[in-house]
Structure 1
């Protein structure tokens, strides 16, 4: 596939498919095919989300220590905090 030089330059500059198509008066599908041929990731937000998704279904930046606690764990933490505050006073 032949890729137009102006399309390739704007893709490499980080423009979205829609902005390139509007700027150069061509179809978004033309820009999308050029982006795929250059093997560059999508520039739009939704496309980035799809490109970063792992096929295993796991969350990319999963850190269990930062995940919300269960209500029972929150209650236990609250009770320990109150007991520690009473002991300190």
Structure 2
């Protein structure tokens, strides 16, 4: 489907299908098809590989490796074993 840039601009600005149809004199179905095509394209561009892994995804906290977990546990146990000052 060929995406009309004027409809795409209004979709990205947050206008409804009815508002786009009224402003541009096209059908609501045309606006809806453009909206669906844009959402498919946006999803496709966001994916790095077809497996669904999204590019540039950074969770709030990276998981700790088993080696780092063991080191953290040893540090905590050593701190707990020392007498308080």
TM-score (norm 1): 0.43
Find the structure with the greater CA-based Rg: 2
TM-score (norm 2): 0.44
